[in-house]
Amino acid sequence: MRRHGVGAVVTVVLVAVAALWGAVAGSLLPRAAYRFSVPEDEGWRERCPGGHPIAGFGGGWIGRARCGPCGTGTPYGPGAPRLATAGALVCAALAAATGTRPELGVWLLLAPVGVLLAVVDLRVRRLPDPLTLRLAAAALVLLGLVALVPEHAGEWPTALWGALALGAFYYVLYLVNPGGMGFGDVKLALAAGAVLGWYGWPTVMLGTFAGFLSGALYGWGRVALRRAGRKSAIPFGPFLLGGAFVGLLIGAYAA
């Protein structure tokens, strides 16, 4: 009984710390979300809506989107409270499912980038290469390091093959229907395949299915509400990420 009580306390503390981390990290995403949210044929934003150069911590990429030189601190871009809430919920859920296993550190580091990618894709239907490709590389490198630590629950070779397999699958879909599947989704699939593959092929298939199912339900819902036609394109990145999140939660919990 006493051991179970200690374990419960550790879990509660772990989830609380993860939620705090997610909230802090999410609150620092608005400036990056604003700068990345541009049409595909344009470069990243270098100035705020008031025309002032964006500077500050992290080369002007990290922090709340507020226009200080305007004299009023006027906010712009996506709201920090919403991103902080999203980050807290995602990280808390990952901590609850993964527990004290070392791969949790990887999930908590990657989660804010996933939130940022979802926001940018929803705003402008674009998945920036500096985020997607680095996310995939970071996932594989970090999981490779975790594989050297005792008590991890996954397999790094499967993570590597999962990244390649899911990337190849999305590439085929892109070739078949480039109007419905962007090449950014192909690059993002590399990262999704890596994190899902860590827990095995059933998790890869589950996360992939969850992504397509949620995207289909969203599209059908828009058609039913007459907000879009049957051939209307939707930003698929958030659903790809959402499916990976669901698969990761189930895979971590079952591991």
Q: Is 191 part of any domain? A: yes
Q: Using CA atoms, how far apart are residues 58 and 35, in angstroms rounded to an integer?
A: 13
Give the per-residue pLDDT at 1.
40
What residues contact residue 102 under an 8 Å CB cut-off, 6+ apart?
A: 146, 149, 151, 152
User: Is residue 65 domain-resident?
Assistant: no
∠ at Cα 196 (202, 91), nearest 5°? 130
Range of 221's domain? 100-254
Query: Would you say residue 14 lies in a domain?
Result: no
Name the residue with higher pLDDT: 115 or 67.
Answer: 115
**Contact between 16 and 108 (Cβ < 8 Å):** no
- In the chain, the number of structural domains is 1
Region 103-129: what's the mean pLDDT? 96
pTM over 0.75: yes
148 within some domain:
yes
Query: Is 22 inside a domain boundary?
Result: no
Is residue 146 very low, low, confident or very high in pLDDT (cuts 50, 70, 90)? very high
pLDDT of 198 higher than 90: yes
Q: How far apart are CA 129 and CA 40, in angstroms?
A: 11
Q: How confident is the model at residue 229 (pLDDT cuts 50, 70, 90)?
A: low
Residue with tokens 């080369």: 59
